[in-house]
Structure 1
Amino acid sequence: MIDVQQQKDTRRVYLNEVGIKDLTFPIEIKNKDGKWQTTHAKISLSVDLDPEQRGTHMSRFVDIIQENNRIDLNHIKNILSIIQEKLGATKSFIELQFEYFIKKEAPVSKKISYINVGVNYKAWLDKELEFEMTVITPVTTLCPCSKEISEASAHNQRGNVSITVKSNEFIWIEDLVKISEDSASSPLYALLKRPDEKYVTEYAYNNPRFVEDVCREVKLKLEKENISKKYEILVESFESIHNHNAFAKIISEDMN
């Protein structure tokens, strides 16, 4: 059969990326303890396209991910290398959006439950492999101002801490989650008994944080742990007594 995609294109226009996007597919992610966790992801795969080539072979992207659905740095590099080889490209790209589950132990009862965090993972292979990962961790924030001016209690709410890092070295999702939770007023848990609720409520009350506080704490912890020099931090609080949200952001000088 005629390979239409391989036909020469006389317009000679280089395309930075061509490929497929939003393919929903099961994947396996390696936990920090060495085990593989199964989840599903929205996946985008692409390559650059030579100006003389009319099109790329879209079906090959699906073939490749079906045969290579384990995700860590070595597997990602292998996937991107295979894409370049199979599609005759010089650059290859992958993006995954998925939920990652972390086992949590309640602070008093020690009951085990799982908390889900959002992950957006991008990687590209040109002369070397680079990747960008965003981990979105749900947390609790308690308002220092509310605590200071109220005779009892203080307004508190859920929020998200989003940490985006660029690197060519592997970074554990769990490490970014811990930094986010340690920077907030309190972590979140899926399962709490009454003694746990008492502990978590009082812990947050004794650890009030503005979004500005959380954002600064994340920055200091990222730098202390030497995670990456390229990062963006976004903290958003879903305010419980206002009809708007509050946010704070830090972008490192090396990020752009």
Structure 2
Amino acid sequence: MLEDIQSRKDHRRIAIDKVGVKDIVYPITVLDKTHGEQHTVATVNMYVGLPHHFKGTHMSRFVEVLNEHRHGIAVGSVRPILETIRERLDAVSAHLELRFPYFMEKRAPVSRAPSLMAYPCALKGSLEGDEFDLVAEVGVPVTSVCPCSKAISAGGAHNQRSQVTVNVRFREFVWLEDLIHLVESRASCEVFSLLKRSDEKYVTERAYNNPKFVEDIVRDVAQALLRDPNVTWFSVEAENFESIHNHNAYAYVEKW
């Protein structure tokens, strides 16, 4: 019989907050507001809180649990997965992070040419005692035009692509698509994978007529989230990949 080294007693009396496996690349199925479900590939991190008296944890069991749930991973399945992890590994707490590209079909604003956009999204869950915590994250590329540049220039204004990242806690189910649309509607303009010349004219003029500082973007997104009774906590950060500076502009706001 093979000895179970991980279950030996440890005498240092130091509990470990998180121990487990990182960067498992795994196919998953997530809920899709338009098509019902979507197949994508996640990078998965799985941890447990290890009591002080255990020498180690059983790493293979994380992958076993993931495999058992791979066809139904979604917002509603995070807690059952965490409960299984905690029970299977005899742990005090369990943690799960799923990071994946979420694809949405977008049509160009004038030509209506269709194309797919990938948005980096994540589900992050923790279970400790009876306390379950779940955070949904979306990363949304947008366009921003500098209001100062527009105001002081005889012609034109500098603009850049920006990345807005929103994390939310919520009471009821939340659609990733809704969070993505909320962010896109608060930028100078949204971005697209495919644009014809008529579309380029539209997005250029729309962005120019709707200039926003990085501060404006995070405040406008935060204002919209504050109005949503389903959202119990959020953080919003925006980074502008500056086109005329050798640095980026950044802003962050959090609501407890």
Aligned amino acid, residue 30 of structure 1: L
Mapped partners of 1:42, 1:17: distance in 2: 17
Equivalent position SS for 1:203: helix
Equivalent position SS for 1:170: coil
Residue 209 (structure 1) aligned with residue 212 (structure 2): yes
Mapped partners of 1:147, 1:16: distance in 2: 50
Aligned amino acid, residue 44 of structure 2: I
Shift of 1:146: 1.6
Shift of 1:105: 1.3
Where does residue 67 of structure 2 map in the other structure? 66
Residues 104 and 114 in structure 1, CA contact (< 8 A), matched pair in contact too: yes
Where does residue 195 of structure 1 map in the other structure? 198
Aligned amino acid, residue 238 of structure 1: F
Where does residue 38 of structure 1 map in the other structure? 39
Residue 118 (structure 1) aligned with residue 120 (structure 2): yes
Equivalent position SS for 1:229: strand
Shift of 1:76: 1.0
Where does residue 78 of structure 2 map in the other structure? 76
Mapped partners of 1:138, 1:87: distance in 2: 39
Where does residue 54 of structure 2 map in the other structure? 53
Shift of 1:50: 2.0
Residues 130 and 168 in structure 1, CA contact (< 8 A), matched pair in contact too: no
Mapped partners of 2:242, 2:91: distance in 1: 48
Residues 130 and 167 in structure 1, CA contact (< 8 A), matched pair in contact too: no
Residue 146 (structure 1) aligned with residue 144 (structure 2): no
Equivalent position SS for 2:18: strand
Unpaired stretches in structure 2, ≥5 consecutive residues: none
5 Å-filtered alignment, 1:86-235, equals 86-126=88-128, 127-167=130-170, 169-235=172-238
Mapped partners of 1:80, 1:33: distance in 2: 28
Aligned amino acid, residue 34 of structure 2: D
Unpaired stretches in structure 1, ≥5 consecutive residues: none
Residues 212 and 248 in structure 1, CA contact (< 8 A), matched pair in contact too: yes
Mapped partners of 1:131, 1:169: distance in 2: 11
Mapped partners of 2:171, 2:44: distance in 1: 20
Please report the TM-score for the alignment, with normalisation by the length of structure 2: 0.93
Count of residues in Structure 1 that have an aligned counterpart in Structure 2: 253
Where does residue 28 of structure 2 map in the other structure? 27
Equivalent position SS for 2:86: helix
Mapped partners of 1:138, 1:237: distance in 2: 10
Mapped partners of 1:189, 1:133: distance in 2: 23
Root-mean-square deviation (CA, aligned residues, Å) is: 1.6
Please report the TM-score for the alignment, with normalisation by the length of structure 1: 0.93
Mapped partners of 1:183, 1:109: distance in 2: 23
Mapped partners of 2:13, 2:230: distance in 1: 42
Residues 135-171 of structure 1 show CA distances to partners (whole Å, capped at 9, x for unaligned) of 1100000111121222222111100111122346432
Mapped partners of 1:73, 1:241: distance in 2: 41
Mapped partners of 2:96, 2:17: distance in 1: 14
Residues 171 and 232 in structure 2, CA contact (< 8 A), matched pair in contact too: no
Shift of 1:134: 2.4
Percent of residue pairs bearing the same amino acid type = 43
Residues 15-58 of structure 1 show CA distances to partners (whole Å, capped at 9, x for unaligned) of 22211111111111111235221221211111111222222110
Mapped partners of 2:113, 2:140: distance in 1: 20
